[in-house]
Amino acid sequence: MSEVSLPPAISELGNHLPLPGPELLSNLAATELLDAYLQRRLLEALVAMGSGLSAATGPSGAEGEGEPELEPEEALLAYGRRRGLADLDALDVWRRSRGLDLEQLERLVRFEAGLGVVTEELWSAQVASLFLRERLSYDRVVMSMVRINDPDLATELFFQLQEGELSFPSLVEHYAQGNDRTNRGVIGPIRLKQLNPLLAKVVRRYAPGELIPPHDINGSVHLMRVESLESAQLDEPLRQQLLGQLRGQWLLQQLSTLQQRLQGDPQDDPTTP
């Protein structure tokens, strides 16, 4: 399935975005903030360029259509809730704690809203194909797991589990340590892609209820059993995650281009202030 091409001005943005001047560049590099600054500049430029697309087509891609804009108070509430803030009073406390005035806060809200709109406009058509390619990695698993440092003991305990002489709760009670004890030997629900790649590959081969033979992963022998495996569905949270992944891939490509330009002499770059 072919990917949707981005407008050249956006796909080549890293080639044209002005580089920071020498003094700013030095200060950003000295405080290790250069990459964060460049990423923010790229996203701000993306929003500015994308607003023209959205005005012409709307987020849905159909001319004259699109999501209605939120009222200012609703936009502020939505911004705050994405940060775990219950109401406008809590948002105001958050704003003041960061030294932001109201105009600065409103700019942040407009930027975030605009980023969401342009992300939809540019990458929504690619979400379905990305989901189909990576669907299995988004399945959710719940599993029982205890890690044992002694390989011989782990093998003995595995056979006891296999023969029904030992249960997983008893295994946790007598042998689990650290996070395994805290979690009572249960992991999940968690997406397979969030697991260690080797562990995810092992888990995929076993049906729920099956005991998995001991596996040495990163120096610990894992005793595991899959409890449940839920197939991924393209719901709205996952859709937003995939949109962010697509935008993130674009952002890394553009950041790499900017970094390559910075490795040359910024003084020779016509975009440098």
The two structure tokens encoding residue 167: 């249960």
Q: Is residue 197 part of a domain?
A: yes
Give the H or E element holding residue 140. Answer: strand 140-148
d(CA 55, CA 47): 12
Same domain flag for 160 and 115: no
Q: What angle do CA 219, 220, 221 make, to 5 degrees?
A: 125
Q: How many domains does the chain have?
A: 2
List, as own/partner pairs, every contact residues 261-267 make where C-beta atoms lie below 8 angstroms and the sequence separation is at least 24, other chains included. Answer: 261/14, 261/15, 261/19, 262/19, 262/25, 266/19, 266/20, 266/21, 266/22, 266/25, 267/22
Same domain flag for 40 and 107: yes
The two structure tokens encoding residue 229: 């495996």
Amino acid identity of 67? E
Q: Is residue 2 part of a domain?
A: no
Q: Are 211 and 225 in contact (CB under 8 A)?
A: yes
- Domain containing 91 equals 8-131+235-268
Same domain flag for 118 and 189: no
The two structure tokens encoding residue 91: 């948002």
Q: Are 200 and 193 in contact (CB under 8 A)?
A: yes
Same domain flag for 116 and 58: yes
Tens digits of pLDDT across the chain (273 residues)? 445 688 999 999 999 999 999 999 999 999 999 999 999 999 999 999 876 665 444 444 444 344 445 578 888 998 999 999 999 999 999 999 999 999 999 999 999 999 999 999 999 999 999 999 999 999 999 999 999 999 999 999 999 999 999 999 999 999 998 889 888 999 999 999 999 888 888 888 899 988 999 999 888 899 999 999 999 999 999 999 999 999 999 999 999 999 999 987 555 565 666
CATH number, residue 212: 3.10.50.40
Same domain flag for 120 and 172: no
Q: Are 265 and 271 in contact (CB under 8 A)?
A: no
Amino acid identity of 168? F
d(CA 9, CA 6): 8
Q: Is residue 273 part of a domain?
A: no
Same domain flag for 81 and 163: no
Same domain flag for 226 and 242: no
The two structure tokens encoding residue 153: 């003991």
**Cα–chain-centroid distance for residue 89?**
29
In the DSSP assignment, the letter for residue 63 is T
Q: What's the whole-model pTM score? A: 0.77
Same domain flag for 244 and 123: yes
Q: Is residue 1 part of a domain?
A: no
Same domain flag for 221 and 116: no
Q: Is residue 181 part of a domain?
A: yes
Q: Is residue 3 part of a domain?
A: no
Same domain flag for 119 and 217: no
Q: Is residue 38 part of a domain?
A: yes
Amino acid identity of 96? R
Residue 227 exposed, middle or buried by CB count within 10 Å (0-12, 13-18, 19+) = middle
Residue 264's pLDDT is what?
A: 78
Amino acid identity of 185? G
Same domain flag for 15 and 42: yes
Residue 66's pLDDT is what?
A: 44
Same domain flag for 157 and 112: no
Strand pairing category for 220-230 and 140-148 = antiparallel
Q: Which residues contact 221 (CB under 8 A, 6 or more apart)?
A: 147, 148, 149, 150, 151, 154, 155, 214, 215
d(CA 84, CA 157): 44
Residue 159's pLDDT is what?
A: 94
Q: Is residue 258 part of a domain?
A: yes
